[in-house]
């Protein structure tokens, strides 16, 4: 597999969020991602309105996007 065809960790999380999936550290870990909070921080710095819901029972944060939100295609993501 060439470098250009490899999907980055950031790309994997972006794809899940844009597909309407909630992402948490467990699902991210299953994709080989161990620093989900750092990826979410980078997305927020790029203008993504990531929503955080904290599960009171287990303390795991669930991340999602507002329904129907799409990135501005004129800005680099």
Helix/strand/coil for 32:
coil
Smallest CA-to-CA distance from 52 within 42, 40, 43 is with 40
Calpha distance 43→59 (Å, rounded): 22
**pLDDT surpasses 80 at 3:** no
Packing angle of the helix pair 36-45, 9-18 (nearest 10 deg): 70
Domains of the chain in start order, with CATH, are 7-64 (1.10.10)
Q: What pLDDT is recorded for position 72?
A: 83
- pLDDT band of 19, cuts 50, 70, 90: very high
Q: What pLDDT is recorded for position 42?
A: 96
């Amino acid at each position: 597999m060439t470098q250009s065809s490899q999907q980055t960790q950031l790309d994997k999380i972006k794809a899940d969020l844009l597909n309407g999936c909630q992402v948490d550290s467990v699902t991210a870990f299953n994709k080989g991602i161990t620093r989900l909070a750092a990826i979410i921080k980078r997305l927020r710095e790029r203008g993504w309105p990531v929503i955080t819901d904290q599960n009171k029972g287990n303390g795991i944060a669930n991340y999602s996007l507002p329904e129907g939100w799409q990135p501005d295609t004129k800005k680099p993501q």
